[in-house]
Amino acid sequence: MIRLPFRFRTGSYGRSDDGQSLAEFALILPILLGLLVGIIEFANAWRTYQVITNVGREGARVAVLPTSTTAQVQDLIENGLDQAGLDAKAANISLGLCSGGACTGTPDTVRIDYPFQFRFVGPVIAFACHGCGGPPGTVVLSTISTMRNE
């Protein structure tokens, strides 16, 4: 009796499972790609949030100096956003600065609201968050920095 190799004796009627792994991979590939793209998109959103937080903190540090002006703080924030590759014109910058000589000990506040547009995951977010307001796939990232005047 001649014995056939194991791969030819896998099932009845001479069938084999050679294409099964290819079919399973074809079913799982879109899910894996969606997961990968989602990780990249949310990492970019986290980076943007860290940038606006750091720029807001730097703006608040300059705002509490006795010689600083509102224009200097505004320029510092806009330049910081531009250097990080973000559109400074899209940011909503609110400054709550004390002016005058009696500001020692009072807080200065810098608030930055920045709309972040998800490029690939945006349609999924728009579908999941139907009626959340704002453009589809856009999330407003906000940060507030408060420091006491010197």
pLDDT tens-digit series, residues 24-58: 999 999 999 989 988 999 999 999 999 999 999 99
Residue 23 lies in a domain: yes
- Specify the higher pLDDT residue, 130 or 107: 107
Residue 12 lies in a domain: no
Range of the structural domain that residue 64 is part of: 18-148
Structural domain count, the chain: 1
Is the entire prediction scored with pTM above 0.85? no
pLDDT of residue 60: 92
pLDDT of residue 94: 92
Angle, CA of 99, 86 and 44, to the nearest 5°: 120
Residue 27 lies in a domain: yes
pLDDT of residue 131: 57
The pLDDT mean for the chain works out to 83
- Strand spans (E) along the chain: 92-96, 107-117, 138-148
Residue 10 lies in a domain: no
